[in-house]
Structure 1
Amino acid sequence: MHKPVLTIFYQFNPWHTTIGGIQTLVSLFIKYAPSEFALRLVGTGNDRYQPNLKWQKAEFAAREIDFLPLFTLKNDNVRSLIPTTVKYTNALLGRCFASDFMHFHRLEPTLAALNWQGEKTLFIHNDIHTQMQSAGDKKAILWRRFPAAYFALESLLVRQFSQILSCNSDSVELYRQRYPSMGDRIAYIKNSFDDEIFYPLSQQERETKKRELALTLGLVPETRFILFAGRLHPQKDPLLLIRAFAALNESHTHLLIAGDGELATNIRAEINRLSLTQRVTMLGAMNQTELSKLHCICNVFVLSSAYEGLPLVVLEALASGTPVVTTRTGETPKLLTTDSGVVCSQHTPESMADSIRHVLLHPENYPSVSCVRTARPYAARTVIGDIYTEMLNRWELRTVSAVGS
């Protein structure tokens, strides 16, 4: 009996990945795929050793996959004039990559898949309603300028999916309201983190490595570190965090910013304007292993987003034993317990500064063990393993039915 084939569609290259939770999740689906499945990834190229539009055998996370890059994409951390999703969708049109299972992480590319046969799943990664609201920066997402056009496209494409899975419960309810006949195909899914990479240190190790980082940066040993990690994009609202850090005005505190994106220049300008150059370090883009070393030694991780689903980086921080301060957006406020983080009462620098201050001054209220306990149900080997088990069961039922008929 042949293996069921899963084809994953997303605009990235796992060997040269850019910043983003979707990239991480796709990588986890490859890493934790059981041997019963054959995997294919339709992504993007990065160098001449991976020729475009040709299937090639490759290995990622000790797992063999078939990889097909549609076009070369050197850096997707900063948006170009033509959105990458548009380029990716255009490259798919007129081709057929039908397989037993197909996973899509953006709606637009599924325009090419309307007539493909097989089980299709759409993953929703944000609170769609909040994301599409016209208030705020309309440049944050192109569709925000044309919400009616987006929902018209969605209504055209959505019925092809066997499943719509969202890590945001508000989006689940929105889709069920918009498409009541598809209610049984729409479900909540946990986002996940890799517990082989993100885990806590002992208190002694944590303090030792924190002092080492402080000395490396020329800071006093008792420095308390605040961490932001993610794309420097309007969705993540890193400028709010810079202003909150200025309002915090606590001695021996240092803000670490791990990430890259279109707001990098604006952030540097704001740091200079607020005279924070000696108190903020911009680290640039970091891979997961590098980031894990920061998560497990920082005093608090801050999520300043304007809209979200359930960010993997929050789970990674908690799994590392680090409490989280978040804006009231996405699933994070529903996930956090009173001893693993704080939800800001308002989306303002002052409110965020107050929340950060509370965690810094009362670390005993947010013990590492509580943070880890909060994250534990979201470990990838469990969450993704269960998804694959359900997929395999459905495939076996279909195979038996086909043979019987």
Structure 2
Amino acid sequence: MEHPRALLDAARRAQPEAIHRLSLLVAAESATGSVPHLERCADLLTEWGQQTLHRRAQRVVIDGMPHLLWPAAHQRVLLLGHFDTVFPPDTIRARPFTISGSVATGPGVCDMKAGIVQMFTALSMLEDTSSVGILLTSDEESGSVTSRELIEQQARRSGAVLVCEAATPDGDVKVARKGGSVYHLTVKGRAAHAGAEPHRGVNATVEVAHHVLALRQLDAAGSGGTSVTPTVLAAGTTTNTVPERASVAIDVRAWTGAELERIDRVIRALAPVLPEATLTCDGGINRYPMSPELAQPLLAVAQSIAAQLGIGTLTGARVAGASDGNFTAALGVPTLDGLGAVGGGAHSPNEYVELDRMPERAALLAGIIHRLSTKDLARGSLSSPSR
């Protein structure tokens, strides 16, 4: 590999094409769960992968969901990302891809379409990508239900995993993430006329409200700890009927597996408050926390490359949100996250990416890939320069 500064120069020359690709990828809406949109987006990415890697993608369809895999025969590095977004179809009509100065906005621009563009830019600058595998999934935003086994399979084949989710707004990579759980609590009561005979009913809305308030007492997010957040709530049929059914979704995040398991026991032990109401709890622990110990050797490599690029000090951050890197780290595979775009506002109308930082992040990723591809990862030589 040429000196990393040459990679940065190459990435800067590639910037106009990268911005064009980003505009195309944002326009290719890919709402999680919308298979027709995901298929069209996958078609675009398949073409880019073929042009860059000169390898055909394997389209792995699981329960209708299309995932893209470019495996390597001797896979030293796995690049991991997802192309689904949280935004429903036609969001692009109201909020098209827009550039204002050096900032780009649009649905999914930061989480994580700019990261995918940077991934292909980085790979295009490397002479040898034969030991690099790439996996782009289509259901990360909905819990990676169909892709988890595929992610874990490819991680086990790899010496290290580089996750191209967005960096922090300050440009930090991510060395630790909270684990997460998702629950659906359903209440069954008894319907009755709300005006004539409300006393004959068992009000499912009142029952679910008791549990929403009780669960909030478990939330310690204000002190940097566990968060237990009621999210989607549904109840009732008509305004003059005592609700027979109600449900609430519950999002849990914690820094340790033990804490996730404690909250799991509490939620599963919930008992009805109203006489004759019944509770059903579905869901459970989705992702265990991503441990910083597994990221530290990779962070040292990244910091070494950043220093050679002259792009400033690279810091590793602990963040509350989970990613598919939680799965790979839980297997004991060295994992470094946040190697995608620098931006913020994910999942909001204000989502943005700093375009002028895309070349440095692509060069950083290319340098890390090259360093790891020339290391015997089993001998613990991650942090030493290649010879």
Relative to the length of structure 2, the TM-score reads 0.29
Larger Rg: 2
Relative CO higher for 1 or 2, CA cutoff 8 Å, sep ≥ 6? 2
Relative to the length of structure 1, the TM-score reads 0.28
| Structure with the bigger percentage of strand | 2
